[in-house]
């Protein structure tokens, strides 16, 4: 675990980014003695931090289910009704100022926008980052298409998931409220295909495996995340991994997310003793594996210079199109810095094997 000064240095990113999943699922069983009451009034009385408009919007978009069926706002709850309320967490509360920023748009239609995000770009405005974010650039891009666009709606229906500031790769945004609702439910129900490529420290005993452990705030360093394997704190999280290459002191792995918690891959891998290469929040920015002698440490430092961030890339994103019902699958190439550092480790690993045989 990093020292306290590292916690302070990197804390803003965690505050900005939050969990990947932007909706929460509330399950309510109506009491046996409940008198008939309109569903919107019932939810307004039972759910904290909500509003009538928010509830009505959720009902209109079939984000409120009673006994697994969508309902109208005039539905009256009955005893023993099982209510599911998918509530957006309203992650963005700052004014969105459109900015002309370079966006690597992979795919776009009337409903969705898929972007290959570079390292160093925060997804949405937050504490310390009010401009230059992905959402600022998306606001400009959409306003060019729709001059009368109301930017105040962007925080509500633009984002359906997030990736970290220094993680590269694919992110999908919604261009309509219909798309936002249907995509958000897919993310919440864990039907979205998400595969990440990560360069991590150390070697694995098994080629494939799973890491399961609740993720929540670290008990001492409140701006960091930690794993609670006993499930006493945090939220349920599962990461599946496959080792693609064993590069002597580091490994290239593919990670498949079953859940989307804050820094999930980074925290799970650190918990298993395999912090991501050059992850300065979770201990990967030092020599974790290998003897620290002059030439080796110099080699590792050169690798850090090639990839100045945690070596993590969101490579694959697959989902059902919210309007057409078509199954869509997108792939992205590894960012240049990750390709360069992986190639450098391949060379080092090959030389080490040749030396050991001679």
Query: Domain map of the chain by residue range?
Result: 4-19+93-357, 23-88
| Phi and psi torsions of 99, nearest 5° | -135, 140
Over residues 231-246, the pLDDT tens digits come to: 778 889 999 999 999 9
Whole-number pLDDT of residue 11: 33
User: Would you tell me which CATH number, out of the four given (3.10.290.10, 3.90.1150.10, 3.40.190.290, 2.60.120.460), belongs to the domain 23-88?
Assistant: 3.10.290.10
Question: Is the model's pLDDT at 91 over the cut of 80?
Answer: no
Whole-number pLDDT of residue 14: 32
Instruction: Tell me the Ramachandran region of residue 87: left when phi exceeds 0, alpha when psi lies from -120 to 50, beta otherwise.
Output: beta
Annotation: CATH topology of 4-19+93-357? Pseudouridine synthase (3.30.2350)
Whole-number pLDDT of residue 127: 67
Task: Tell me how far apart the alpha carbons of residues 6 and 227 are, in angstroms, rounded to a whole number.
Answer: 18
18 — pLDDT class (breaks 50, 70, 90): very low
Nearest to residue 278, comparing CAs of 250, 307, 314? 307
Nearest to residue 282, comparing CAs of 203, 188, 201, 169? 201
Residue with tokens 């003897």: 291
User: Of the segments 161-165, 197-201, 290-294, which one has the largest average pLDDT value?
Assistant: 197-201
Burial-class residue 305 by CB neighbours within 10 Å (0-12, 13-18, 19+): exposed
164 is catalytic: yes
**Is residue 135 within 8 Å of residue 92, measured between CB atoms?**
yes
Residue 124 CA, distance from chain mean position = 13
Whole-number pLDDT of residue 189: 82
Q: Is the sign of the CA dihedral 137, 140, 145, 149 positive or negative?
A: positive
Whole-number pLDDT of residue 180: 84
Question: How crowded is residue 141: how many other Cβ atoms within 10 Å of its Cβ?
Answer: 20
Mean pLDDT of the region 158-177: 91
Whole-number pLDDT of residue 15: 30
Mean pLDDT of the region 21-26: 68
185 — pLDDT class (breaks 50, 70, 90): confident
354 — pLDDT class (breaks 50, 70, 90): low
Q: Say which range, 35-39, 178-182, 321-325, has the weakest mean pLDDT.
A: 178-182
Percent of residues, the chain, with pLDDT higher than 70: 86
Question: Is the model's pLDDT at 272 over the cut of 60?
Answer: yes
218 — pLDDT class (breaks 50, 70, 90): confident
Helix (H, G, I), strand (E, B) or coil at 327: strand
Residue with tokens 């992979």: 106
Please tell me which residue, 92 or 286, carries the higher pLDDT value.
286
List 40, 81, 88, 164, catalytic entry? 164
């Amino acid at each position: 675990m990093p020292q306290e000064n590292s916690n302070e240095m990197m804390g803003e990113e965690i505050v900005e980014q939050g969990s990947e999943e932007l909706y929460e699922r509330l399950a309510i069983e109506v009491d046996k003695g409940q008198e008939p009451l309109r569903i919107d009034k019932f939810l307004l009385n039972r759910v904290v931090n909500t509003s009538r408009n928010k509830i009505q919007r959720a009902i209109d978009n079939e984000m409120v289910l009673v006994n697994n069926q969508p309902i109208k706002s005039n539905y009256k709850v009955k005893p023993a009704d099982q209510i599911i309320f998918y509530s957006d967490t309203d992650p963005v509360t700052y004014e969105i100022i459109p900015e002309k920023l370079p966006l690597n748009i992979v795919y776009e239609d009337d409903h969705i926008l898929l972007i290959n995000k570079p390292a160093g770009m925060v997804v949405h405005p937050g504490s310390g980052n009010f401009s230059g974010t992905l959402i600022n650039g998306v606001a400009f891009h959409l306003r060019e298409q729709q001059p009368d666009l109301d930017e105040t709606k962007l925080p509500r229906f633009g984002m359906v998931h997030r990736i970290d500031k220094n993680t590269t790769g694919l992110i999908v945004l919604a261009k309509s409220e219909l798309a936002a609702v249907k995509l958000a439910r897919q993310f919440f129900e864990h039907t979205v295909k998400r595969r990440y490529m990560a360069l991590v420290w150390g070697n694995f005993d098994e080629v494939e495996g799973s890491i399961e452990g609740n993720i929540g705030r670290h008990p001492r360093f409140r701006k960091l995340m930690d794993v609670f394997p006993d499930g006493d704190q945090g939220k349920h999280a599962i990461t599946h991994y496959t080792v693609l290459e064993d590069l002597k002191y580091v490994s290239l792995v593919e990670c498949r997310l079953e859940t989307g918690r804050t820094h999930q891959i980074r925290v799970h891998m650190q918990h298993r003793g395999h912090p991501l290469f050059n992850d300065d929040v979770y201990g990967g920015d030092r020599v974790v594996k290998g003897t620290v002698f002059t030439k080796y440490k110099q080699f590792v430092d050169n690798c850090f210079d090639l990839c100045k961030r945690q070596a993590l890339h969101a490579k694959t994103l697959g989902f059902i199109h919210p309007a057409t019902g078509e199954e869509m699958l997108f792939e992205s190439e590894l960012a240049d810095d990750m390709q360069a550092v992986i190639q450098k480790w391949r060379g080092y690993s090959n030389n080490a094997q040749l030396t050991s045989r001679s």
